[in-house]
Amino acid sequence: MSLFWRIFCLNAVGLVIATALLLGPVTVSTPVLPGEALVVVGGLAALLAVNAAVLRIGLAPLTRLAGAMATADLLRPGARPEVAGPAETAGLITTYNAMLDRLAAERAAGAARVLSAQERERHRVARELHDEVGQTLTAVLLQLRRVADRAPAELREEVGQAQEATRAGLDEIRRIARRLRPALLEELGLHSALRSLAAEFTGHGLTVRHDLAADLTPLPGETELVLYRVAQEALTNTARHSGADRAELRLRGDAAGVELLVRDNGRGTAGAIEGAGISGMRERALLVGAGLSVAAAPGGGTDVRLRVPHRADVPPGTPHPDAGAPR
């Protein structure tokens, strides 16, 4: 029943009862007797109380809807408001839920196009760094080696320093190219790429241990890329911001899906503002219907957990049941 008819029927019943009482056993004298005033005031109070109860019950779904609208975040998809209440309220909640689903699908499609273009640009830049800048620095290094063979003794030390600087620059160019384009992921698979990633971040005061299950169900290429990029971004955040000296990279699989965990022993995330890195990880997680949670690790530090379900029919942008849930 609609809210209008609920209130109308309640008021009509109250007025009919009041009229029947006035035409029957209840009368009002002039001047009004104390007993008659008590009956009239009591009836009015009862009518107002019942009206208030009906309005409170009828408007409760709107209050829940307002709360859901205030906390809605497409990067943290969660449960939709329950469709309940009078017809008008139920229709409004249904429309709102449909709007959220449409926005989530459109955002996921847009994010997929953006991230796809980003990956293509990463590959292009990595290829140019390797083929152009890398080859140029290699040629400079070879030329410096020939110069060092013919240079006077007093200049050989300076030429050697130039060689070392050029070699360091070449190594840095190759490292950047590997980060931009994970060739190991394409050529040797996810396990080799994650082991190489752990080795790359081990050093400069950080030790990264890896524990990668070998019996994982074969995953689509897009899912493997999402797992790799999330692990890369999580380790980058650990190295730059956490102050940790130990980190763990863990990959596990079960009948329900695959879980990636990056755990550190740093200062944690208490009071920290979520930056572009975590937002980017959430965007990538939505592409494969995964759930990403960032929470405090047992004993201190941070847990970044990505859960990818084994569901081939998951459309991009579909929220995973664990999305945004604290752990």
Model pLDDT, residue 80: 78
CA distances to 73, 122, 319 from 76, in Å: 5, 27, 8
Query: Which architecture does CATH list for 184-327?
Result: 2-Layer Sandwich (3.30)
Question: Span 5-34, mean pLDDT?
Answer: 73
24 CB contacts (<8 Å, ≥6 apart)? none
Per the model's pLDDT, the better-predicted residue between 304 and 205 turns out to be 304
pLDDT at 59 over 60: yes
- Choice among 189-193, 206-210, 214-218, 319-323 with the minimum mean pLDDT: 319-323
> Is omega for the bond preceding 31 within 30 degrees of 0, making it cis?
yes
Model pLDDT, residue 322: 39
pLDDT at 119 over 80: no
Model pLDDT, residue 270: 65
Question: Span 273-279, mean pLDDT?
Answer: 74
Model pLDDT, residue 249: 92
Alpha carbon distance 140, 145 (integer Å):
9
In three-state secondary structure terms, 188 is coil
Model pLDDT, residue 241: 81
What one-character DSSP code corresponds to residue 206?
Answer: B
CA distances to 43, 88, 230, 308 from 223, in Å: 67, 42, 11, 8
Model pLDDT, residue 250: 92
Percent of the chain residues past pLDDT 70, beyond the cut? 83
Whether the CB-CB separation of 247 and 209 falls below 8 Å is answered with: yes
All structural domains of the chain with their residue ranges: 3-74+81-106, 184-327
pLDDT at 324 over 80: no
Model pLDDT, residue 156: 78
* Pick from 200, 205, 320, 198: nearest CA to 257: 320
pLDDT at 78 over 70: no
* Pick from 206, 207, 322: nearest CA to 260: 322
Model pLDDT, residue 319: 42
197 CB contacts (<8 Å, ≥6 apart)? 228, 231, 232, 235, 249
Whether the CB-CB separation of 62 and 86 falls below 8 Å is answered with: no
Query: Which residues on neighbouring strands pair with residue 180, listed in sequence order?
Result: none
Instruction: State the average pLDDT for the chain.
Output: 78
* Pick from 66, 19, 62: nearest CA to 43: 19
Alpha carbon distance 253, 265 (integer Å):
24
Q: Is the pTM of this model over 0.95?
A: no
230 CB contacts (<8 Å, ≥6 apart)? 260, 262, 281, 284, 285, 292, 304, 306
The pLDDT confidence band at residue 44, using thresholds 50, 70 and 90, is confident
Alpha carbon distance 309, 164 (integer Å):
48
Question: Span 270-299, mean pLDDT?
Answer: 79
Whether the CB-CB separation of 278 and 310 falls below 8 Å is answered with: no
Model pLDDT, residue 313: 41
Whether the CB-CB separation of 197 and 231 falls below 8 Å is answered with: yes
Alpha carbon distance 60, 120 (integer Å):
50
Please identify which residue in the block is written with the tokens 């847009």.
110
Model pLDDT, residue 317: 43
Question: Span 246-253, mean pLDDT?
Answer: 90
Asked whether the CA dihedral 56, 61, 64, 66 is positive or negative, the reply is: negative
